[in-house]
Amino acid sequence: MVEVDLVLKGIETSKEGYLDMRDLYGLIKNFLDNIRYSIILEKEHFVSENEIKIKIDAKKAINDYIKFVLKITITGSRLKKVKLKEKETYEGQFTVRLRAEIEKDYEDTYEEKPMLKFFRELFDYLVKVSDFNRFNRMIKTDLFSLRDEIKAYFEIEKLD
């Protein structure tokens, strides 16, 4: 089974006002493509009259043992559809929550061999600690960069 290390939990940015969900979704997808997150899965997509919830998982394999995972949740509440500048958008309260995880042994190489798995974990803990610290910094950089892009987009939308 895949071992998951939680790196960052609960980073969020919010906005109240108008938002084009297609533009936000496109911004996130383009950003993830640019930093080479190749597997992008939409885990949940719920839209009702006054609420939206979208969950996205983006994954990037670092090597055959480590994979970065960014979990993105977009929620909207108290929504109303409005038309602005010939475009249908939403008005309401929007929140984007971000979470970063590192998956180890995502190919289950060591799962069937408990002794090897134990020694691999021990090796990771004692010898590879500097590599894992570097991986933690790398995924944090990715997550904070994505958050900054979303915040900048929210500010631009506020000015329109």
pLDDT digits 0-9 by tens, 23-55: 998 999 999 999 999 878 888 888 888 899 999
Residue 125: helix, strand or coil by DSSP?
helix
Determine phi and psi for 85, rounding to 5 degrees: 50, 50
What's the pLDDT score for residue 158? 57
- Reported as a single tens digit per residue, the pLDDT across 92-122 is 999 999 999 999 877 777 777 778 777 777 7
Whole-number Å distance between alpha carbons of 148 and 160? 19
Q: Which of the two residues, 90 and 59, has the higher pLDDT score?
A: 59
Place of tokens 């979990």: 71
Inform me whether the pLDDT recorded for 62 exceeds 80: yes
Residue 160's pLDDT band (cuts 50, 70, 90): low
Gap between the Cα atoms of 132 and 127, Å rounded? 10
Q: Residue 133: name the closest of 37, 61, 141 by CA.
A: 141
User: What is the rounded distance in angstroms from the CA atom of residue 26 to the CA atom of residue 97?
Assistant: 17
CA distance 88 to 79: 12
Number of domain units in the chain = 1
- pTM for the structure as a whole: 0.85
CA dist 37 and 57 (Å) reads: 10
% of the chain exceeding 70 in pLDDT: 98
Amino acid at 126: L
Structural element, H or E, at residue 30: helix 21-34
Please give the residue range of the domain that contains residue 10. Answer: 3-159
